[in-house]
Structure 1
Amino acid sequence: MTAPLPWLAPYRDTPFDGEVLVPGSKSLTNRVLILAALADGPSVLTRPLGSRDTTLMLGALTTLGATIERDGITWTITPSAWDRTDPSAIDCGLAGTVMRFVPVIAALGSAPVTFDGDEHARVRPMATTIATLRDLGVQVDDEGRGALPFTVHGTGYVTGGALEVDASSSSQFVSALLLAGARFDKGLELRHTGASLPSMPHIDMTVAELRRRGVRVDTDEPNRWHVHPGPISALDVEIEPDLSNAGVFIGAALVTGGRVRIRNWPADTDQAGDAWRTIVPAFGGTVEQDGADLVFSAGPVLNGVELDLHDVGELTPVIAAIAALAEQPSTLVGVAHLRGHETDRLKALVTEINRLGGDAEELDDGLLIRPRPLHGETFRTYDDHRMAHAGVVLGLRTPDLFVENVVTTIKTYPNFAPVWERLMT
């Protein structure tokens, strides 16, 4: 199939001033889908995200026996009976939540399930998932790769109990185990053994969603979680807007000297994107609450920043794009784990910013960005939706910037390109 032509990103020489209602959170949608498939009755999701990642999750759960009915902005999920015995295959695409969450719950069934995905998915870190499944007594065939493709051979139960995991490369390894832990015969006593644990807000989100469904989760010590065995209650929920996806529009306001209203910003949330409340002031901007909305405005000068993004690494590509257009250098640290995301995001950001005439340098755990005048060129995305977001922010202040494969944004934001084009031109 012929690759799509690079897309000419909108350029603005005037401030962007607009309002946006972003689609539902991918992180929350996929966690809720997993818990609904494990629950003790049907659950209804309102305003879930319909994107490539969530479609892949729907397909995976359907393969495992769940029934999903979609009716406009509501999805009804009837749990799996976990009684299938025929071999099956699951396409993970490039979705980390599918390739890391679903193998653990597949182990609860009685059928062999093979997992594979896109070309880039085969280089994403999966050895921890495979090793922890084996530590739980589950047979996994991966032919020594420690990566996709692999086959999980479920026996209809997982004993559970005490387990150690080094999740330094991704918090998803912890969330995957926590989501299924209540269905293990002995529950789960999980300890993270690595030096650091990235993206804690995602783990907090997982724990919060378990507790909302009546699952007892003890978190009395740092990096330890005790999930008690028992039922997962069915629960009807409305999905919050995706605050990480709001970041690209916030970036537009900052780099053009404008403002943006993000509608229905949750008052209390575990999403990593809530950090934009503090990141925008660091760049010299302001944040105001107006009813249910947040209004983000640029300041008179776009400052350079020094930010530790360890807990909110997914925001790094857009932050790096803003930093490349700032008045002073910026240092972004705490994000070494981004080398194992959809692509090596640190290397990709340095390569693409420098391709445009910028000056970015890769650090051991982050980026040093020295602003320089940028010129038009093709910004490569490496099939990574967050890289595409970085490219379009840079394009607002860089004439003749083309973004390769902008449609990769369908991973978490359907119709992003036409929405962006309509708002920015």
Structure 2
Amino acid sequence: MTETLWPAPVATTAVDATVTIPGSKSVTNRALLLAALAGEPGWVRRPLRSRDSQLMADGLRALGVGIEETVNNATGGSGGGEAWRVIPAPVLRGPARVDVGNAGTVMRFLPPLAVLADGPVHFDGDPRSYERPQHGVINALRALGARIDDGGRGSFPLTVHGSGALDGGPVELDASSSSQFVSALLLSGARYNQGVEVRHVGGPVPSLPHIRMTVEMLRLAGVQVDAPEDGGEKDIWRVTPGALLGRDLVVEPDLSNAAPFFAAALVTAGRVTVRDWPAHTTQPGDQLREIYTQMGGSYRFTDEGLEFTGTGRIRGIEADLHDVGELTPVIAAVAALADSESHLYGIAHLRLHETDRLAALAKELNDLGGDVTETEDGLRIRPRPLHSGVFHTYEDHRLATAAAVVGLAVEGVEVENIATTAKTLPDFPQMWSDLLAGAAARA
């Protein structure tokens, strides 16, 4: 099969642009599921329209949830005026078939909902979904009384035999490979007869900000949640059973997807503003402000959003990215262009994401002349002059955007399957071209 290669544009001058980032995948998919569980219809406004969010919407539709998509151009703002009206099903439907693709939120969040269906729900997905950890959700649901057929694999494909209800109650699980195991149970837990008490047993939970996002969104939907960060017991989350409110929710921009655009400011000594950056957020991507400042840039809030400026110097960084692992690929790309060594750590769990991100980053950067070594839980990056070549993406959207960042400073970088960015950033190639075209026009 012939590779489809995208020539990464080289920056010939400093970028100076204002960018509208589509809505957050993490918020969109949580909002859709919570709206599906509510007692009355709700709205999800400015949602992310991408493969992952479409898989979530289609999965909910397969279970009988109504999702009506509308566009009101008068509303303006980031993500345009699109809105999805979610109409909960009186009874979730089974039998049903759900395609999870390679979307972590779909493969983890929908099985705990499917136990409430009135029949079997069969889940399948991309080949990579068979390799990604699902045991935490499967074992926890079984411990709570659910019947699941997975052939003993602890992964997809699998069938959840919904019985219309689940007793719920206390359960232990090891979420050291994915915080989504905890979020998955919390999101549907209020509809279990006894609610749910999730006790994590194991190593540190990665991406804790995503669990805090789940907790905050549950509370906004009227659910009572006890969480460790509020003075509760360490590694224990409790959801009280009860009804969920239908809400009118506006989805924030996906701050993690700002990573390559702010990186362009760093790499080209330019300036990029991301519109509608929230003053308060649970999104891990908000940490970009501090991380990129340590790498040599600066930021300020303006009337339009968050403005980030590069100085022309990129510093290496020593950073624990355990809570913000999804930012690692682009940060690694920037680090490969820095003036000193970087050590990124706390991210062993990235070996279990869309691909083994640590191995992939090391191989692809090294194939371009870099000096990257894997550590037990991260990467050590020693900047070297890079050269042209093909950057393989392993069907991983974050690898593709990392490659685009490298291409800003290195001529002849060709990116395999740039279309994989559609997972969370559907218009990325055009947005990237526009970013650089605007800079070139002003030069």
Amino acid at match of 2:391: F
Distance 1:306 1:418 in 2: 33
Tell me what 1:175 maps to: 183
Establish whether residue 354 from structure 1 lines up as the match of residue 332 from structure 2.
no
Match of 1:80 among 89, 94, 109: 89
Superposed CA deviations along residues 24-75 of structure 1, whole A, max 9, x for unmatched, are 0000000000000000100011100100000000000000110010011011
Tell me what 1:206 maps to: 214
Amino acid at match of 2:212: D
Identity of aligned residues (%): 53
SS of corresponding position for 1:94:
coil
Cα RMSD after superposing both structures: 1.0
Distance 1:197 1:380 in 2: 29
Distance 1:3 1:75, change over 3 A: farther
Match of 1:113 among 117, 121, 124: 121
SS of corresponding position for 2:409:
coil
Establish whether residue 43 from structure 1 lines up as the match of residue 42 from structure 2.
yes
Task: Note the C-alpha offset of 1:235.
Answer: 0.5
Distance 1:411 1:281 in 2: 28
Tell me what 1:275 maps to: 287
Match of 2:196 among 184, 188, 197: 188
Amino acid at match of 1:401: V
Alignment of 1:260-299 (within 5 A): 260-299=272-311
Distance 1:279 1:62 in 2: 39
Tell me what 2:344 maps to: 332
Establish whether residue 376 from structure 1 lines up as the match of residue 388 from structure 2.
yes
SS of corresponding position for 2:204:
coil
- Note the residue ranges of structure 2 that are not aligned, 5 or more in a row: 72-81, 438-443
Tell me what 1:8 maps to: 7
Contact persistence 2:132–2:353 (CA under 8 A):
yes
Distance 2:90 2:131 in 1: 33
Distance 1:177 1:209 in 2: 14
Q: Which runs of 4 or more aligned residues in structure 1 lie more than 4 Å from their structure 2 counterparts after TM superposition?
A: none
Distance 1:128 1:245 in 2: 28
SS of corresponding position for 1:7:
strand
Task: Note the C-alpha offset of 1:292.
Answer: 4.4
Alignment of 1:13-412 (within 5 A): 13-72=12-71, 73-85=82-94, 87-219=95-227, 220-412=232-424
Amino acid at match of 1:81: P
Distance 1:290 1:415 in 2: 25
Amino acid at match of 2:307: V
Task: Note the C-alpha offset of 1:17.
Answer: 1.4
SS of corresponding position for 1:396:
helix
Superposed CA deviations along residues 117-141 of structure 1, whole A, max 9, x for unmatched, are 1111111111112111111111111
TM-score after normalising by structure 2: 0.94
Task: Note the C-alpha offset of 1:422.
Answer: 2.0
- Total equivalences in the alignment: 423
Contact persistence 2:62–2:93 (CA under 8 A):
no
Distance 1:259 1:144 in 2: 52
SS of corresponding position for 2:306:
strand
SS of corresponding position for 1:162:
strand
Contact persistence 1:266–1:292 (CA under 8 A):
no
Task: Note the C-alpha offset of 1:83.
Answer: 4.7
